[in-house]
A and B are shown apart, each in its own frame.
Chain A
Amino acid sequence: MHYFLTEEQQMIQDLAAQIAKEKIRPQRAELDATEEFPWDIMKVLAQSDLFGLYIPEAYGGMSGGVFENCLAVEKLAEGCIAIATTFAASGLGAYPILLFGSEEQKQTYLRPIAAGKRLAAFGVTESGAGSDVSGIQTTAVKDGDHYILNGTKQWITSGGEAEIYSVLAITDRSKGPRGASFFIVEKGDPGFTFGKKEKKMGLRASATRELVFQDCRIPKSRLIAREGMGFIIAMKTFDKSRPGIGALGVGLSQGALDIAVEYARKRIQFGKSIINHQAIAHKLANMATKTEAARALVYSVARYMDSDPGDVSKLAAMAKMFPGDVAMEVATEAVQVLGGYGYMQDYPVEKMMRDAKILQIYEGTNEIQRNIIGQELSKEYGRLKETFF
């Protein structure tokens, strides 16, 4: 379908698609098996300028927005969402700096991120604080010109590989939700180490590790915005990043659909291609329709977001949740279309099904997205004075 992309947006799509086809597809199965971090592909992406899509030119980027980034993420995800997640997670780590950082912080950190020379990561989750971010225990205590961090972040994407970390820590417990703040921590800072790499169901080429802070001393200039802004920064960052997770879902769905349709046309049972068995054709029809619906949702939310509207939490949640659910369904159905072959690791849909599950969990589970949408609906309709009966 034609989404009226500009010439530049088409170039972004073409370039990301070329990288997916030539570099990601041939390597995805092996990277999944070895769980090796995809540095080679990150270097290709760095050289492609795609890491800077959403970053202003003044900081070495391409001055695009959420939409341009989604276009690239989607195409990379058609190849492999573990690699596309590694790419997108750098953006997640960069957004707190981009949205709330000082001019100096932007110059220092966004330039290498835009150039893909350094990866960024986002550290919020802890063992006791997943969906409920307010439960975090990591603390940052001011000590003269420094802050001292103590605590452990869990399941941080690109942990140990990234060099720039946006980390949420409590600066004043007595202030409740207004007592958390974001800091920039660099790999190599004293007292900052990493836990072991997690073994995962899917997303295996993406590294997931603990960030361990033991009297980690960082200059006070690493505070993002002001003390107490932590939760606001986290929420605004999620608004920008969630359509990107949706784009991962769209890409994964498209990749699974492509394989399922091609296979269904070639596989013959009972004397005809299985696509000519209506049960399979209907499955493929549902998969294709939902994939397109997810894409249309992600594109329109991302475009709307780039027009700088007010509160977009509800739309961001929709653009994260729906494509994630679609991807899980489409990948599962793709395995069904391929039958026993789909269950074998020799065929890519087996990995896609394992990978898809993460889309319903990270960056806020899909239950949490529904909570957000529900709360926003209640607020919206509460403001209306009219009745629809």
Chain B
Amino acid sequence: MHIVACIKQVPDAKNVRIDPNTNTLVRQGVESIVNPFDLFAVEAALRIKDETGAKVTVITMGPPQAEQALRETIERGVDESILLSDRAFAGSDTWATSTTLAAAIRKLGDVDLIICGKQAIDGDTAQVGPELATLLDIPYATFVKEIGLMGESHFRVTRQTDEGTEVWKLPMPCLITVLKEVGEPRLPSLRHKMRAKKAEVPVWGIGQLGLDAEKVGLSGSYTQVVRVFSPPRRTDRVLIEGLPEVQAEQLFNYLKEAKVPGL
């Protein structure tokens, strides 16, 4: 069995700011991490590997430094990884991203299962998984919290929906997007860390993928980000700081001054 997990390198959300003048993300000096939801995708793949010996390949589309994100997944036990990187990919929206990922998966050929995280924490669209399945013309299930093999050629997946849970039977090949319930991502192991250090990470550009430059990147995108902004900050906030006891006292005094009934 061959499983492909799709991951994205994102800025560490804890440190992201938006430049008020240019309305763009300030990426300088912000650490990049593997999109947290994608770590669950990798974990889901590795758990199937633990059980069945499946091969796990991780792919990402991104700038050259996204290679680091791939190595981090090798440290956790992934077999192989491929970086999809090309100047032509810059400015991709979710559709152009899915187009690029689909080309890579077609090139890989023998794929039985594709796993994506439920969404990326920078864009929060949750679109790439479904779009990718649509482009590959395979069945898919989103918001999966449990996955297991069902016979030789099917998976049994449990979806979380607003109404409750649904259990589906999906034929191979198929795609799922996963929730954190699939299992806590494992930490690296020393052997895999050593392997990751030396691992070759092939880079595929539009040439290798046989893609038309018009179909990818900014020109292949149907949507464009016009403006990014943080909602204006409310200035009437009172910040209480210090040790919990001190905070409690400040809050008490504040409420008392505000003449909250009962105090």
Contacts and interface: CB of A to CB of B under 8 A. Distances in A.
Interface of A: 7-8, 11-12, 14-15, 18-19, 22-23, 44, 47-50, 53, 62, 341
Closest CB pairs A-B (n = 7): A49-B190, A49-B189, A11-B193, A48-B189, A49-B191, A47-B189, A15-B190
B187 A50 contact: no
Contacts of A62: 190-191
Nearest to A23: B187
A155 B188 CA distance: 34
A44 B191 contact: no
B256 interface: no
Nearest to B192: A49
A19 B187 contact: yes
A274 to B, nearest CB: 14
A11 B187 contact: no
Given A23-B187, A49-B191, 11 more contacts: A11-B190, A11-B194, A15-B189, A18-B187, A22-B187, A47-B186, A47-B187, A48-B187, A48-B188, A49-B190, A341-B243
Contacts of A22: 187
A12 B191 CA distance: 10
A7 B190 contact: no
A19 B190 CA distance: 12
B190 A48 contact: yes
Interface in B184-209: 186-191, 193-194, 197
B186 A15 contact: no
Contacts of A11: 190, 193-194, 197
Contact of A12 (B190, B197, B243): B190
Contacts of A44: 186-187
A7 B187 contact: no
A15 B187 contact: yes
Interface of B: 186-191, 193-194, 197, 243
A11 B192 CA distance: 11
A22 B191 CA distance: 19
A7 B194 CA distance: 9
A53 B190 CA distance: 9
Contacts of B187: 15, 18-19, 22-23, 44, 47-48
Contacts of B188: 15, 18, 48
Nearest to A7: B197
8 contacts: A15-B193, A19-B187, A47-B186, A48-B189, A49-B189, A49-B191, A53-B190, A341-B243
A294 B194 CA distance: 29
A50 B191 CA distance: 9
Contacts of A49: 189-191
A48 B190 CA distance: 6
Nearest to B243: A341
Nearest to A52: B190
Nearest to B191: A49
Contacts of A14: 193
B244 to A, nearest CB: 9
A341 B242 CA distance: 13
Contacts of B194: 8, 11
Contacts of A12: 190
Contacts of A341: 243
A376 B42 CA distance: 55
A215 B98 CA distance: 69
Contacts of A50: 190
Nearest to A53: B190
A75 to B, nearest CB: 13
Nearest to B76: A47
A148 to B, nearest CB: 41
A262 to B, nearest CB: 14
A23 B191 CA distance: 20
A22 B189 CA distance: 14
B117 to A, nearest CB: 19
B239 to A, nearest CB: 16
A265 to B, nearest CB: 14
Contacts of B189: 15, 47-49
Nearest to A45: B187
A100 B183 CA distance: 42
A180 to B, nearest CB: 36
With most chain B CB atoms within 10 A of its CB, the pick from A12, A18, A49, A50 is: A49
Contacts of B193: 11, 14-15
B129 to A, nearest CB: 27
Contacts of B186: 44, 47
B242 to A, nearest CB: 9
A98 B186 CA distance: 30
A113 to B, nearest CB: 16
Nearest to B190: A49
A144 B186 CA distance: 49
A19 to B, nearest CB: 6
Nearest to B193: A11
A157 B191 CA distance: 28
A20 to B, nearest CB: 11
Contacts of B197: 7, 11
